[in-house]
Each structure stands twice: as structure tokens, then as C-alpha cells.
Amino acid sequence: MVWDDLARIRERAPLVHNITNYVAMNVTANALLAVGASPVMAHAVEEVEDFAAMASALVINIGTLSPAWIDGMRHAAREARRRGVPIVLDPVGSGATAYRTAAAEMLIAEAPPTVIRGNASEILSLATGQQGTRGVDSIHDTADATPAAKRLAERHQCVVSMSGPVDVIAGADRIIRVRNGHPIMPRVTALGCIASALTGAYLAVNPSPLDAAAHAMILMGVAGEIAAERSSGPASFQTAFIDTLYGITEPDLAERAKAEWL
């Protein structure tokens, strides 16, 4: 299933439109190219609607936010919504500053995303409306945040995909847990951003947002395990991770995937 979707991505090369942060842009584009998708990075109000309209998925990431970029995100998301293009929202740092929380909430209200993809602290901030995250790294556990993820999914009729040592993907009536990955992953920047972008690529080829979101996290986790075996620190991990996304095989995924559909 993870493999079938990946084979479809490689075959169809879906256009994934990203409005993402400065830190993640290069590695996000490379991760999308490695799985066979065609990434576009464009943020200006003057053209985002054109790209959102031709894209097979839109990925919005608020990692390095500013007013002009929020405008671009709004225009792109409304156009994607209008055309039925699936939307992934990565609310980086929601809960850390009022500005980010408000931006994420506004984007959700204006053009409800297909998948909200973040860490436990970000999901908690959106579900409960409370501030308190320190920075952009999670200080909460996905197990503790699962009820909040479920509520958020129900409230916005979307899927909530939450990364952590155990990933939790919550739909309106189902929960999936993914137990893949490696402890070095939080020591590498932008892997969460890549997870959001790959979720976009999977949404482009799989009509079930819950399955697409779960498959993307399984791919992330399995590729992370393989990359950890082939590297000797966080930077060589980043290189091995992209190489693994490019070369990963059906047996790699079949043998290593540890997901529970609950």
C-alpha cells in the first residue's frame, strides 16, 4: 500500500506546490524529487493561485512566517480548496507565539486542510487553544496528545498526522499508529517539513487522506531507519535519507513497516 502509492508517484510525477519555510526549501524539493514528484516552490500572491490550480497537492508550512507569506498561503489555499486540490497544513511552532497560532487557526478556518501535520505540541495548541510550546521542537508526547488530535480531526473534518517516536494519524473514526523511525531524526532539521511534503505527494495519488497520511509517515520512518544504518551523524543521515527515498524498494517497506490500524 505504501509501495503502491510510491509507485504511482514515481509514475505520475504529481506537481506538489509548496509554500514552505526558508530552512526546509532545499531539502523539501530534493525529497519530493527523490520520490518522483515534481515540486514547485512559489509564495507570491501574484502567482500562487496559478500554481495551486495546476498542482495535485498544496503543502503550506508556516515555519518562517511573515505577513506577505500569509497572504500567499491564504490565496493558494482558497484556490486549492475551490478546485478540490488536497491541502496539507504544517503549523510549525503553533503554540510558541500567538502570531503563529493565529495564522494556523486562520488558515484552517478559511480553507480547511485535508491533513494537518505537525508535532504533538503544535497539535495540542490547535486543539486546546492554549499556548506554551517552547520554540519549534515538541515538548509533548503523541500518546498524550491523541485525544486532542482526534478532537481536532473531528472539528475540522480532516486528518491529523502527528509525528513523534510513535506517529499518530487520526481521522474522524480511526487512529493509526506508526512505530518506525530512529532517535537521530529530531537532531536533523526540516524532517517534519519533509514529512508534510511527502504527505502532499501521497495525497496526490491516494484518495483516502487517512491512508495517504499514514503511508507518508511509514515511508518517513522506514527510510529513517535505513538511513540511520548508512550514516554516522545527522548530516550524513540527511544525505542517506534522501538517497533512501530515491532507492527504496517494495521489500524494504514490506519488511520494516510497523503500523497499527486501530
Query: Where does this chain bind a second copy (CB under 8 A)?
Result: 13, 15, 21-27, 29-30, 33-34, 38-44, 46-47, 50-51, 54-55, 63-68, 93, 96-100, 134-137, 186-190, 231-236, 238-244, 246-247
Closer to a second copy by CB, 89 or 245: give it.
245
202 vs 11: CA distance, rounded Å: 13
Closer to a second copy by CB, 63 or 181: give it.
63
Shortest CB 110 distance to a second copy, Å: 18
What DSSP string runs through 18-87? Answer: EE--TTTHHHHHHHHHHHT-EEEE---TTTHHHHHHH-SEEEEE-TT--HHHHHHHHHHHHHHHHHT--E
The helix (run of H) or strand (run of E) holding residue 236 is helix 234-247
Report how many helices (DSSP H) and strands (DSSP E) the chain contains, helices first.
11, 9
Closer to a second copy by CB, 133 or 146: give it.
133
Closer to a second copy by CB, 99 or 256: give it.
99
Shortest CB 157 distance to a second copy, Å: 29
Shortest CB 10 distance to a second copy, Å: 11
With a CB cutoff of 8 Å and minimum separation 6, the contacts of 36 are 6, 9, 10, 11, 13
Shortest CB 155 distance to a second copy, Å: 25
Shortest CB 63 distance to a second copy, Å: 7
Closer to a second copy by CB, 30 or 128: give it.
30
Of 10, 9, 8, 28, the closest CA to residue 18 belongs to 28
Q: Which residues of 136-166 are buried (b: 16+ CB within 10 A; e: fewer)?
A: bebebebeebbebbbbbbeebebbbbbbbeb
Closer to a second copy by CB, 63 or 171: give it.
63
Contact 61, 90 (CB under 8 A): yes
Shortest CB 61 distance to a second copy, Å: 12
